[in-house]
Amino acid sequence: MGLYHFCLGFSLIYGFWRAVLCDQEGFLSLYCGDGRSFVDSSNISWVPDDTYVSKGNITAVNFIEGSSSSQVPVRFFPDAQERRKCYTLPVKNMSSMVLVRPQFYYKNYDGLRKPPAFFVSLGTAITTTVNLTISDPWVEEVIWAVTKETLSFCLISIPDGGVPVMSFLEVRSLPEGAYTSGMEDFPNTSLRKCYRFNCGYSNGSIRYPIDSYDRIWDADHSFSPSLLSSEFDIPLPLNISGIKESPPLAVLQSARVVTRKNVLTYNFPLNKLGNYYIVLYFAGILPVSPSFDILINGDVVSTNYTVKNRVASVLFFARKGIQSLSITFQNISFYPQVNAIEVYEIVGIPLEVSSTTVSALEVIQQSTGLDLGWEDDPCSPTEWKHIGCEGSMVISLELSDIKLRAVSPTFGDLLDLKTLDLHNTSLAGQIQNLDSLQELEKLNLSFNKLTSFGSDFDTLVNLQILDLKNNSLEGTVPESMGNLKNLHLLNLENNKMLGPLPQSLNRESLEVRTSGNLCLSFSSSTCSGFTGNTSVEVPQVTILIPKKHSGHNQGAIIIGTIGGVLCAVLFIALSVLIYRRRRKETEVKTTRTATEMRNWNATRVLSYKEVKAATNNFKKAIGRGSFGFVYLGKLPGGKLIAVKVRFDQTRLGEDSFINEVHLLSQVHHQNLVSLEGFCYESKQQILVYEYLPGGSLADALYGSNSKKIMLSWVRRLKISLDAAKGLDYLHNASNPRIIHRDIKCSNILLDSEMNAKVCDFGLSKQVLRADATHITTVVKGTAGYLDPEYYSTQQLTEKSDVYSFGVVLLELICGREPLSHAGTPDSYNLVLWAKPYLQAGAFEIVDECLKGTFALESMKKAASVASRSVERDASQRPTMAEVLAELKEAYSIQLTACN
């Protein structure tokens, strides 16, 4: 009887499903280690995992035999001890929930009879310890609230835990708003499935296509007192519209019902003490309205709960600090019943490290020229090598035996550092850029070639140990060092110092080691024979050399990434380096009233209400940068706009914001994304740009399948030509001159006709000085695009833009990103790898899909201008105007060749 009904119900539901939800949008199914794509018997499309899995030593065994006839693929990660092994999962729909379901099989594939154990993480959270001795296969399910465009899923080895393995990985997007009710007390958490039961059903598991979200609903008979209760399968139509979780009707149409006793209890073993989330589903499939009390671990959580006929309902409970779980239904009128139960462990998600710190570390990694294996978050789920953390703060950095050469300003951004060890890193010159590290307790700069003290040390009030041994320091110790009251060891051994030590250092609590110097002592008479030759530290000064030929009396404006990211369709990868800390740069104070702002031509002042209306209450986010979301909107006239809303914590000072708006409203060029308006009300800083539907050049080149566009060579030339026009305008035609400072593929947007426009002028920091040839400034930019000369000298010129643009040209030619772990270590850096080939006219490195389609002369021209643009020496690079002229030629050669 029950079975008959069920089958009937099934076909009804199946029909419903086919009509309404016949696609698999939001599904990603990876078949690990085998290169095949196929559609399985449930009509799910499986694809190989190769393009999602991280670099390094990964190996695939084709198959292992399952116990049944089915074969299971395996990928294993022999060097997971070196670094975590991650899958980067694209998540199409932001601000939604996804279910991530990895499956691990060992099955003695390696013949060693040693099932491995390892950690598994999502984002910054370690969600599970997989132990294949306990269960083989092992299936995990985690529900995760999406906040970024990609989700990192990693396998992390446990010492002596063996080699992590992976067989299947499924990602499913869940209905909007699902699994959030009742979770208010648990912000920043994810849910790890413990149980998901289809109550009253005994014939295996139900999943896709019956559950269009492909959750697996297991039969509950081994967990219920089956002697006391019955199963009911009744295919009545049900109103489930009130349930955000959208359980399949087939699951709700079976129930566990008490028939002989007044009580129904489920006992769920939990494998550890923790917080748990419980979802109970009820459906009025009986012709009565049963009511009952519900108890969790003996506590009444609902009295006289009534199930209405033909209606499905759901209850949510969260329980803190429990180790076992029992759910009881009692005090019934009619039959107490339950239709489905889900139990999840609530797993905390550690906070991410601040983007300033991550950016700074990435710049430091880049400057070492090494691949330190630094990816994703520095502190969680596990700390990066060479780094120590406290919560989400990076408190120690230990880089030694590599070539850093200078303590770059970037180190000054690591504000939480307590320990900095840079011994034997070829540091030379002055000790600098550390003055902001006020938490610093231990500083080791020994075994370098440092020659002088900066003025830095005064501010390092927490410094306890300063190790400067085996450098080339000259002169004596600055008097101000005496102010460091916590200092208890100062090691100056084996330098070239000469002179009396400040008496303020002569105290009991401080040990000063001085051996191996010319003459260094507290007694002023000891070194008298040596006097007269002590050098004095020169504090670093910013010098702007007047420009010789310029007749214009104009300032230069740096438009940087301080404000970061405002490109409409732009999803910014983690590697984007943006600094939001405002540094001690000269800022011209300008306070303008709103009335004055209204007079700026072509720029509309919008009220927050208008912005809200235009974006339909911020309904559609089309991008997210480190600084906020970008929403799609429509002005009353029908014009589409991209609306960038700044996060609270990244909001700028009034002056900076107004400066940016003012500047942007003056820049008008067909190849620059234009500002349509802005909103500046008490709590809001919103910029409104024209919307470009074509996405960014980065999307077109590297985007996920839907965004990727086949760009022919002539297209690529046209795009580069457009972008070059925009830049040439900024450098040479706009008044004042503007240096963009963050040229990269994701800042070049395409309109519907594939015309390119440059965007992201950031929030401007104006440095108005007449006739400057360069500006000395804190280094900002994006790894891979950063001008090395600017990086080492901190002197910014238009040529830095030329360098970054040269990198873009190389990307267009080679079809790959500036930094890539995909190939051999030699090919990591695009510039270093491609330049020699292109200079030699060896075009085998040209993007595979351009082969045979370009005119050789055109490619030669473009390759030549690209490789000269990325010359290390800025003076060897062409100007933007020259780049533009050469690209025009390359373009016209190609056009002629086509005809």
Indicate which residues carry an active-site annotation: 742
Is 24 one of the binding residues for ligand NAG (CB under 6 A)? yes
Q: Which DSSP state fits 878?
A: P
Question: Closest approach of Cβ 816 to ligand NAG, in Å?
Answer: 21
Rounded least distance, CB 552 to ligand NAG, Å: 46
Beta carbon of residue 653, minimum distance to ligand NAG (angstroms, whole number): 21
- Residues 61-90 binding ligand NAG (CB under 6 A) are 78-79
CB 369 within 8 A of CB 783: no
Smallest gap from Cβ 379 to ligand NAG, in A, equals: 13
Nearest Cα residue to 570 out of 764, 705, 744 = 744
Nearer Cβ to ligand NAG, position 180 or 368? 180
Give the whole-angstrom CA distance, residue 234 versus residue 254. 6
Looking at residue 266, the DSSP 8-state letter turns out to be E
Under 8 Å between Cβ of 632 and 620: yes
3 binds ligand NAG (CB under 6 A): yes
According to DSSP, residue 206 is labeled B
CB of 43 to ligand NAG, least distance (A): 4
The piece of 236-244, 355-363, 418-426, 817-825 that touches ligand NAG (CB under 6 A) is: 236-244
Place of tokens 């999962």: 89
Q: Which of 11, 37, 43, 503 binds ligand NAG (CB under 6 A)?
A: 43
Q: Single out the segment in contact with ligand NAG by CB under 6 A; choices: 235-243, 265-273, 368-376, 568-576.
A: 235-243
- Going by C-beta distance under 8 Å and a sequence separation of 6 or more, which residues neighbour residue 702? 708, 745, 817
How far apart CA 438 and CA 389 sit, in angstroms, is 17
Q: Supply the minimum distance, in Å, between the C-beta of residue 819 and ligand NAG.
A: 20
Contact 531, 657 (CB under 8 A): no
Residue closer to ligand NAG by CB (options 117, 559) is: 117
Nearer to ligand NAG, 51 or 203 (CB): 203
Give the shortest CB-162-to-ligand NAG separation in angstroms. 9
Q: How far is the CB of 7 from ligand NAG (least distance, A)?
A: 9
In this chain, which of 67, 111, 184, 242 binds ligand NAG, going by CB under 6 A? Answer: 242
Give, for 133, the enclosing helix (H) or strand (E): none
Residues across the chain: 899
Do residues 139 and 103 touch, judged by C-beta distance below 8 A? yes
- Within residues 323-362, the interface with ligand NAG by CB under 6 A covers 351
Nearest Cα to 236, choosing from 183, 285, 164, 308? 285
Q: Residue 128, SS3? A: strand
The yes or no reply on residue 161 touching ligand NAG (CB under 6 A) is yes
Q: Which of 112, 134, 545, 832 binds ligand NAG (CB under 6 A)?
A: 134
Nearest to 568 by CA among 663, 731, 707: 707
Q: Considering the complex, state which of residue 103 and residue 205 has its C-beta at the smaller distance from ligand NAG.
A: 205
Task: Choose the binding region for ligand NAG from 19-27, 189-197, 411-419, 819-827 (rule: CB under 6 A).
Answer: 19-27
Q: Which residues contact 133 (CB under 8 A, 6 or more apart)?
A: 115, 117
Residue 11 interacts with ligand NAG (CB under 6 A): yes or no: no
Q: Nearest approach, Cβ of 79 to ligand NAG (angstroms)?
A: 6
Residue whose CB is less far from ligand NAG, 161 or 694 = 161
First-to-last C-alpha distance (Å) of the chain: 75
Residue with Cβ nearer ligand NAG (292 or 833): 292
Q: Please tell me the count of residues contacting ligand NAG according to CB under 6 A.
A: 30
Contact 91, 81 (CB under 8 A): no
Q: How far is the CB of 824 from ligand NAG (least distance, A)?
A: 10
- C-beta closer to ligand NAG: residue 254 or 424: 254
| 644 known member of a binding site | yes
CA 426, 432, 436, 437 dihedral sign is positive
- Residue closer to ligand NAG (CB basis): 173 or 894: 173
Residues 290-309 touching ligand NAG, rule: CB under 6 A, are 291, 304, 306
Kindly write down the DSSP assignment for every residue of 95-114, as one continuous string.
SSEEEEEEEE--TTTTSS--
The least distance separating ligand NAG from the CB of residue 579, rounded to whole angstroms, comes to: 19
Phi, psi of 766 (to 5 degrees): -85, 130
Region from 24-32, 544-552, 562-570, 855-863 binding ligand NAG, contact rule CB under 6 A: 24-32
Interface pick for ligand NAG out of 51, 239, 523, 550 (rule CB under 6 A): 239
What's the token pair of residue 385?
């090598």
Q: List the x/- string, 194-213, binding to ligand NAG by CB under 6 A.
A: ---------x----------
**Contact pick of 37, 62, 71, 133 for ligand NAG (by CB under 6 A):** 133
Candidates 126-134, 315-323, 836-844, 867-875; binding stretch for ligand NAG (CB under 6 A): 126-134
612 is written with which tokens? 């809200």
Nearer to ligand NAG, 201 or 891 (CB): 201
Tokens at residue 768, please? 């108005």
Identify residues 471-510 at the interface with ligand NAG (CB under 6 A).
none
Look at residues 562, 579, 649 and name the one whose alpha carbon lies nearest to residue 356.
Answer: 579
Interface region with ligand NAG, contact rule CB under 6 A, candidates 217-225, 234-242, 401-409, 785-793? 234-242
**88 burial via Cβ count (<10 Å: 0-12, 13-18, 19+):** middle
Instruction: Please select the residue that binds ligand NAG; options are 57, 259, 524, 735, rule is CB under 6 A.
Output: 57
Near ligand NAG by CB under 6 A: residue from 68, 241, 591, 705 = 241
3-state secondary structure at position 679:
strand
Exposure letters 575-591 (e unless 16+ CB within 10 A, then b): bbbbbbeeeeeeeeeee
CA distances from 498 to 153, 516, 520 (A): 56, 11, 5
Selected binder of ligand NAG within 5, 26, 286, 709 (CB under 6 A):
26
Query: Does position 822 bind ligand NAG by CB under 6 A?
Result: no
Contacting ligand NAG within 170-189 (CB under 6 A):
173, 176, 187-188
Yes or no: say if 497 and 509 are a contact pair by the CB < 8 Å rule: no
d(CA 495, CA 474): 7
Which residue, 24 or 656, has its beta carbon nearer to ligand NAG?
Answer: 24
**Rounded-to-integer distance, Cα 791 and Cα 798, Å:** 14
Closest-by-Cβ residue to ligand NAG is: 242
Minimum CB distance to ligand NAG smaller for 271 or for 601: 271
Q: How far apart are CA 345 and CA 275, in angstroms?
A: 6
DSSP state of 79: T
- Burial classification of residue 122, based on how many CB atoms lie within 10 Å of its CB (0-12 exposed, 13-18 middle, 19 or more buried): buried
Q: Left (φ > 0), alpha (ψ -120 to 50) or beta: where does 327 sit?
A: beta
Query: Of 813, 781, 809, which Cα lies nearest the Cα of 877?
Result: 809
Q: Which one, 190 or 494, has the nearer CB to ligand NAG?
A: 190
The first and second tokens of residue 823, run together, are 């190939």
Interface stretch with ligand NAG, choices 17-25, 103-111, 278-286, 477-485 (CB under 6 A): 17-25
The number of helices, as runs of H, and strands, as runs of E, in the chain is 13, 49
Q: Which of residues 86-125 bind ligand NAG (CB under 6 A)?
A: 93, 96, 117
> Which segment (238-246, 654-662, 694-702, 838-846) binds ligand NAG by CB under 6 A?
238-246
Element (H, E) at 222: none
Sign of CA dihedral 655, 661, 664, 665: negative
Q: Is 648 in the site for ligand NAG (CB under 6 A)?
A: no
Least distance in Å: CB of 133 to ligand NAG? 4
Query: From the annotation, which residues make up the binding site for ATP?
Result: 644
Query: From the annotation, which residues make up the binding site?
Result: 644
Residues that bind ligand NAG (CB under 6 A): 3, 22-26, 43, 57, 78-79, 93, 96, 117, 131, 133-134, 158, 161, 173, 176, 187-188, 203, 239, 241-242, 291, 304, 306, 351
